[in-house]
Amino acid sequence: MEYPSKLIEDAVNEIAKLPGIGKKSALRMALHLLKQDEDRTQSLAGALVDLRTKTQYCKVCHNIADAPVCSICQNPQRDQSIVCVVETATDLIAIENTSQYRGLYHVLGGVISPLEGVSPSDLTIDSLLQRIQDENSEVKEVLLALSATMEGDTTSFFITKKLKPLDVKITTIARGVPIGSELEYTDEITLGRSIVGRKAYEG
């Protein structure tokens, strides 16, 4: 694509590096900013730089935080006896938005994936073990909420093996047919697992 201005071209190229944004959307955004007040662009740019330079990671759970310890870990009203293990901060936000979980979290930073060169030492698994072994720890349950993929399952298996010697209950989120799905269109593996993992009807 040819651009009428080098400034537009630079901006489009930078915006198009963001995930899910092509050159056409990037151009539309650049032209949108040009039409708006200068303050708009300044506050967008400022928010991005602040995000990148000021964000910290919680020392306890490795969640994104504004302070050395994140607001969830600092909140005494959260259930201190359960830790939910997630891959990323995005997954944490997704679980928070369900309003069904009031415990603590532990953000792994990914899953074990030999193909992508991610080994257990690249994740925050050691930190999780230390956290549970800490003498002040109140953790009684570790809830594994990892992706239902081979990498996720491998990681769950690895963590379970490490946690076995410690005195904690290990649970995992339920796998099954998603709410609102029709059986006819559910894949065979999910449907098969939902039968193997059947539970008492509570209707």
Please give the residue ranges that form the binding site for a copy of itself (CB under 8 A): 1-8, 10-11, 13-15, 17-21, 25, 27-34, 38, 40-55, 63-66, 70-72, 88-90, 92-93, 96-97
Q: Which is nearer to a copy of itself, 87 or 151 (CB)?
A: 87
Dihedral over alpha carbons 111, 114, 116, 117 (to 10 degrees):
100
Query: At which residue do the structure tokens 């939910």 appear?
Result: 84
To a copy of itself, the closest distance from the beta carbon of 39 in angstroms equals 10
Strand 103-107's sheet: what is its strand order? 103-107, 79-86, 141-144, 169-172
Q: Which is nearer to a copy of itself, 9 or 141 (CB)?
A: 9
Q: Which is nearer to a copy of itself, 7 or 166 (CB)?
A: 7
To a copy of itself, the closest distance from the beta carbon of 17 in angstroms equals 7
Q: Which is nearer to a copy of itself, 86 or 125 (CB)?
A: 86
Strands (E), the chain: 56-57, 64-65, 79-86, 103-107, 141-144, 169-172
